[in-house]
Amino acid sequence: MAKAKAKRRARAKPLRRPQQKRATAVVRAKSFAPPRVVGREHWTHKLDGGERVKLFLWEKYAGDPMKAKGIVLFVHGSSMASQPTFDLTAPGRPDSSVMDWFARRGFDTWCVDMEGYGRSEKSRDNNADISRGADDCRAAAEYIRGRRGRRPLLVYGISSGALRAALFAQRNPGIVGRLALDAMVWTGAGSPTLEQRKKRLAEFQAANRRPIDKAFVRSIFTRDHPGTAEDSVVEAFGEAILALDSSVPTGTYVDMCANLPLVDPEKIPVPTIVMRGQWDGIASFEDVLAFFEKLPNPDKQFAVMPGISHASFQQKNYLLVYHILHAFFSQPAPVYRG
């Protein structure tokens, strides 16, 4: 009798359900920390007129950079060095660094200070024009490819950095896998920003450098459409810029006011995206659309970014910019080309 009762109790004991184990596994998966991003400084040189010019590069990656999904080279604009633009820390602003954001998604990210900016060479007697900037991109690319493999780079340039990047791609198409041109100007026709800047052309032509301060940095965000960027971000951006430079070269301003066009779109054979802020005054829609139409590679895109003026990565809608750029850099190559 006692044995029969024991058997009935054993049968009545509830079984442990496998669903409980799966639930525990889900909780553990959520506890994993995001990949740690590593930052490393690098130095290289370019040869110009028989002189060795020292250039500073900054790299950020997570995991093994030799196994990265792609290698991104970011190219800065006229009035600031590379790290404030692409690796900015702003309080209360998650993913403020576009380099960190791409590194966490498996990319090896790099930026370079053009000659005359940031931590790169500033002692030479020149205005660091756009052609020299394209040479800086070539020197940076050769250094990167020598250490991370000879595969083509994913290149992003903003404002005059877009002109540097485009000219670099025009001269060296085999080095560039995909090209992103943000805040691009081609001929300058219909540009309200350049119309105002041309009033000071003689001043820019008379000196190799021009002073910058916090008021100037703020003007970048108010000249087209006030309200596109948070005040705290503009403040952090200005502090980061001025920690490296109190003046910047005049060459890109002179080129954009007096020497456009500098790039021939028909000689850029690589896949290209033109990224245009809704309120960006650096170029007219007609100007950049005409450039886009002449790009020969059918693998090309034109993206209008709503709510954005000029400095895309410092805008309130910066995550939208990241998404557009990531989608383009992650796009698979066409299987059929016809």
Q: What separation in angstroms does the CA of 333 have from each of 74, 163, 177, 235, 328?
A: 22, 25, 10, 40, 11
Q: What does R_g of the chain's alpha carbons equal in angstroms?
A: 25
pLDDT at residue 2, rounded to an integer: 52
pLDDT digit string (tens) for 266-321?
Answer: 999 999 999 999 999 999 999 999 999 999 999 999 999 999 999 999 999 999 99
pLDDT of residue 81: 98
Give the pLDDT confidence of 77-91 residue by residue, as tens digits: 999 999 999 999 999
Q: Tell me what pLDDT residue 9 has.
A: 53
Characterize the bridge pairing of strands 300-305 and 209-211.
unpaired
Q: What pLDDT, on the 0 to 100 scale, is given for residue 11?
A: 55
User: In this structure, what CATH number is given to the domain that contains residue 96?
Assistant: 3.40.50.1820
Give the chain's residues under pLDDT 70.
1-32
* Assigned domain for 31 exists: no
Q: How far is CA 19 from the centre of its chain?
A: 45
In whole angstroms, how far apart are CA 334 and each of 16, 18, 326, 329? 51, 44, 17, 13
How many separate domains does the chain show? 1
Note whether residue 46 is domain-resident.
no
Task: Tell me what pLDDT residue 148 has.
Answer: 97
Q: Does this model's pTM top 0.75?
A: yes
Residue-range definition of the domain harbouring residue 124: 54-330
Asked if residue 337 belongs to a domain, the reply is: no
Domain-located, residue 3 = no
